[in-house]
Structure formats: C-alpha cells, structure tokens
Structure 1
Amino acid sequence: MLQLYIGNKNYSSWSMRAWVLLRQAGIPFDEQYVRFDSFDSQSEFKRTMATVSPTGTVPLLRDGDVTVWDSLAIAEYVAEQFPDKALWPKDKAARAAARSICAEMHGGFTALRGACPMNIEADLAEVGKIVWRDNAGVRKNVERLCSMWSHLLAQHGGPLLFDQFSVADAYFAPVCMRLKTYQLPVPGEIAAYVERVHQLPGVKAWIDGALAEKDFVPMDEPYRAER
C-alpha cells in the first residue's frame, strides 16, 4: 500500500495537497505523520524525514521501492499509477491548463503564502484585514486567483475548476483554507467555489484532522504566543 508522509494537518499546505488528492480519489494509503517542531537540521522532524527523504521535507510518497517527493511530482505519479481515476482532465487543452495552473501555484503566489500561512484552526480575520490593507502583493495574488478561477468555472461549467474533481482542486485547496481563515475579500462566485472545496469529503476529512490535533507550533504562528 502507498505510504504518505505528512506534517501537521493544521499547518502543512504542501502535505494537504497530496493527502486530499489521494483521499478524495479513493486511493488507499497509510498516513505517516511527522510532527513539525522546527526545520533546523537537528530537529526531530528533520532527523525523522532524513531517514526516508533526500530533501527532508513533506509530503513524501513511498510505493514499494519507489520514493516520490514534492507535491507536484506526487500528483503526477499518482495520476500515472491510477489512470482510471482521471485525476487530470481528459481533454488535452484542459489538461494542459490544469498542469499550468498547478505549476503556477507551485512556484508563485509567494506574497499570499508568506503573509497568510495556512492555519485551519484559527480565525485570523483581523490579521487578514491588516494584510489586505498593507500588502499589495497579497491583493495582486488574490486578484490573479479570482481571475483564474472565474475563467475556469465559466469555461467548464463548475462545480469545480475542470467540472469534476482534479489535481487542480487538490492543489488549490490550501489556498481556499487561507481565504477562509483570513477572510480575504473575494467575489461571490469565488466564495462559493471556496465553500464547495471545503465540502469535498477529502477536504472535510483533512479539516477534521486539523481541528483534532490541538497542537501549537510557534514557528508556524508568528502572530500569537499561544493558542
């Protein structure tokens, strides 16, 4: 059976992508949880991950003697191994678009990711107001998200970015968490998409796990001293 190494569900956006993809697609896997403490080379997290990963990061997928690290590589590997799940759109042009927006997310949106780290448990609306007021990069990132999602929802008819669930929805699920946690302003159609993503069974299962952790990792919460 596949083994998926992940960090804290409350904080680990990279882990969420791979976990939600597998869970929502109904692909069995064993979850290997490695708690965040710090990313120092001598931390428990880094020492644990160093035994299985060449990069010492999560997520990491093991399939027998095959090891796949990086969330986008995991998505490609899983889609290749389970073609019946149609994790990428079947249409060539749609598939190219889906891969492009996932790559864009993978290497971009740095202002949003930096100013609004994922924290599913928290209500950070007040932090979000300050970020929205003062951070032009975040506003630009959200504008791009809204433009992208609006176009795809209109083109493919919804309810998800490419009609049916795909890698793209799993890939943007952590962004949906951020938009909700920080209450960043988005148009109604975008808020509705965010809510539909929240209601996906695989996403709900991840959220339930995040809320059950009851963990506080100070390095992931620079805006407060305790939960």
Structure 2
Amino acid sequence: MLTLYIGNKNYSSWSLRPWILLTHLGVTFLEVPVQVCGRGPNDTHRPYSDNGLVPALHDGDIQVSESLAICEYVAEQYPQAWPADRHARAVARSVASEMHAGFGSLRGAMPMNVKARAHGGPLPAAVKADVARICEIWEDCRSRFAGNKGPYLFGDFSVADAMFAPVVWRFFCYNVDLPPRAAAYRDAMLDHPAMQAWERGALEETIHVAQSDAALAQWGGPREGNYLVLAAA
C-alpha cells in the first residue's frame, strides 16, 4: 500500500496536491499527518523524507519527494491522471510545471489557509500579475481542451487540476476577484468531493501557524462568519 506523509491540511499547499489526486483516483493509501510549523526542510521529517520536506510518498522501498514528482509517479500506474490526448497532455504538463515552479509573489502574499475568510482588497502589482497569468491559463485550457467533457481544465480531473488546487483555496479564502470563466472553474474545484473532504480535515485542526494567520490582516481581516480564530499576537 502507498503511504503519503502530509503536513497540516490548513496550511500545507504542497501536501494537498498528491492527496487530492490519489483521493480523486480512488487509490487506497495510508495518510500519515505530520506537523509543519515553518518553511523549508526540517530535520524532524528526515526519517521518512530524504529532503526533510513533505509531502513524501512511500511505495515499498521507493520514496518520492516533491508534489509534482509524486503526481507523475502516481500517473505511471494510473495514466488517466493525465489527459489522453497527446496535445492536451503536453499542455497539461507545461502548466502543471509552471504552477510548481512559479507564482512566488502570490504564494508569499497569500499563504494557503483553508480556514481563512478575508474581505480581500487591492492586489500589489506582482500579485496581480500572478493572478492574471493563472486566470489566463485556466481560461485557455478550458476553452481549448475541456469542451463538454467536464468542468476541469482538460475536461476530466487531472494532475494539472491537482497542482492548481492550492491556488483555488487562496483565491477563495482571500476573496480574490476573478473573471467569470476563472470563477466558474474555481467553484467547480471547490465542489469536488476531495476538496470538501480536505476542508473538513482542515477545520478539525487546532494548530496555528502565526506567520500564515497574520497574512489575513493584509487582506481586510476576517469576513463575518470567518472560520479562523487567529493566534494571539
């Protein structure tokens, strides 16, 4: 059986990606949650993660690190994790890699915080550019490849959707204004049963990462009905 080591569901964007893919595919795996209280490698993770990071996937003696590499490994056994069409698959791999490597301004300004419900506000130029590029990707993939096959980037759910899942939470939780077609994709992702299951897990957590929670104040503070109880300053 596969074993997936993941960080806190409220905060660990990297962990969400392989988790949602495996869950969507119906793969049986053992989920092992571990505490993540900061950024970068942590020696406490070394016993199960060679690079000191999570997520980490174990398949017998095989260990796979990094969210995109884990998704690629899973796709070797479940090829439906990528679009069947060669052209669509090439684009899916390209945008998944772009998400994995890029959008640092957005990541820094809006750390994933599933419990957060911010009012939102004007975006700094660099963040605005990241948001615009992501919306461009979403709209392009949907218009060129999705057709009537389904509500996701390439119709059926794929690794590309898994890679963008943390951004979906960021846009929703920080109340980022999106153009209509990008907003429709965001909403379709939020309706995915695995995304809803991840949210339920996040809401059950009691650990607070002050650095991530503090970012909420930059975006107008919590909306009414906000899930998040901010850590003490």
TM (normalized to structure 2)?
0.88
| Of 193-202 and 32-41, the range deviating more from structure 2 | 32-41
Matches within 5 A, 1:186-205: 186-205=178-197
- Structure having the higher helix fraction is 1
Name structure 1 gaps, 5 residues minimum.
none
Partner letter of residue 219 of structure 1? Answer: Q
Question: 1:117 maps to what in 2?
Answer: 111
Tell me the distance in 1 between the aligned counterparts of 2:113 and 2:44. Answer: 23
Contact in 2 for aligned 1:24/1:203 (Cα 8 Å)? no
Q: How much identity, in percent, do the aligned residues show?
A: 47
> Using a 3 Å threshold, how does the CA distance of structure 1 residues 63 and 112 change in structure 2: closer, same or farther?
same
Partner letter of residue 138 of structure 2? Answer: W
Alignment equivalent of 2:142, drawn from 153, 177, 181 = 153
3-state SS in 1 of match to 2:214: coil
Partner letter of residue 76 of structure 1? Answer: E
Large movers: runs of 4+ above 4 Å: none
TM (normalized to structure 1)?
0.90
> Matched residue pairs, number?
216
| Of 9-18 and 149-158, the range deviating more from structure 2 | 149-158
Contact in 1 for aligned 2:40/2:53 (Cα 8 Å)? no
Partner letter of residue 59 of structure 1? Answer: P
Alignment equivalent of 1:139, drawn from 128, 151, 157 = 128
> Using a 3 Å threshold, how does the CA distance of structure 1 residues 3 and 188 change in structure 2: closer, same or farther?
same
Give the CA deviation at 1:82. 2.4
Matches within 5 A, 1:37-76: 37-39=37-39, 46-76=42-72
Question: 1:17 maps to what in 2?
Answer: 17
CA deviations over 1:78-133 (Å, ceiling 9, x no partner): 000223xx0000111100000000100011111111100000101122xx315x1x
Give the CA deviation at 1:192. 1.3
Contact in 1 for aligned 2:10/2:112 (Cα 8 Å)? yes
Contact in 2 for aligned 1:34/1:48 (Cα 8 Å)? no
Give the CA deviation at 1:11. 0.3
Tell me the distance in 1 between the aligned counterparts of 2:128 and 2:40. Answer: 32
Give the CA deviation at 1:40. 8.0
Tell me the distance in 1 between the aligned counterparts of 2:211 and 2:109. Answer: 14
